[in-house]
Structure 1
Amino acid sequence: MLVRLAMPEDRDAVVGLARMQVEETLPHLDFEQDAAEETFDQSIKFADPTFFVCEQNREVIGYLMGLIEGYAFTSGVFVVQEVLYVRPDKRGTRAAVKLLKEFVRWGEILDAREMIFGVSNGYNDERTTRFLEKVTGAQRVGTYLKRVR
């Protein structure tokens, strides 16, 4: 299993996984192919957002989408794990762990003052939060609320 930055040739695989992720974890939203492709293209051109992929036998089986953000009232940057998704048939492998470890390494390289992890879609909140705590060493802080229209 290999984790690396996404490359242009990963576009179809990542967009396909994004479709699966939206259908599974955000069923109240409609997947938009054009928006997903544009987001991926922005990542390749500007690293904003940044995609990491996990491949097994040269097949992309999962991805993590991260953001680099600047503080509004202090110096430095922080990184945010926006999406973490592994194909259902590959869950239980080391894919998610490897993606998170690479994200942490990336944050350290960027000298990020904070790394933010979480679940904002309401899908397996407690289980995923415990997993994130264990793998990343992050602590629970704050409260996240969402209003869906």
Structure 2
Amino acid sequence: MHEPTVSDFGLLKRILRYIKGTLHMGLYLRKSSNLSLSAYCDSDHAGCKKTRRSTTGFCVLLGPNLISWSARRQETVSNSSTKAEYRALTATAHEITWLSFLLRDLKISQQFPTLLQCDNLSTVYLSTNPALHKRSKHFDTDFHYIREQVAL
């Protein structure tokens, strides 16, 4: 910043051209009296052809407005689509928990429980079934966290 070079100015011009070309893009925030949190999550099992790791994706809405999102590769390889989806569910639950505390600190009360949508029936059944099955015992940390959040 203190001693810019010619290449720095070239990069600055590139950034400004990008901003000028994308002025019509953006996230629109609408005024709404609905301030309840809701979230959607998904994963692709072994989506990376090179490492066979799954990708977790989620988005969190406050009323009709998108306030948080993420798409990132999972740290380890999942043995099943249920495990990959369950990890996505756990990552989303962590984000929801953090946002709930943030909203509480901002004096925005949540009158309804947060709705977390997941498209994998095995994962949904696993989060509500208290029995930990033999095939799913290897990801019991995520299991217990989600069970606790569902109970809360």
Name the larger-Rg structure.
2
Whose strand fraction is larger, Structure 1's or Structure 2's?
1
Fold in common (TM above 0.5)? no
Query: Please, what TM-score do these two structures have when normalized by structure 2?
Result: 0.31
Normalised to the residue count of structure 1, the TM-score between the two structures is 0.31
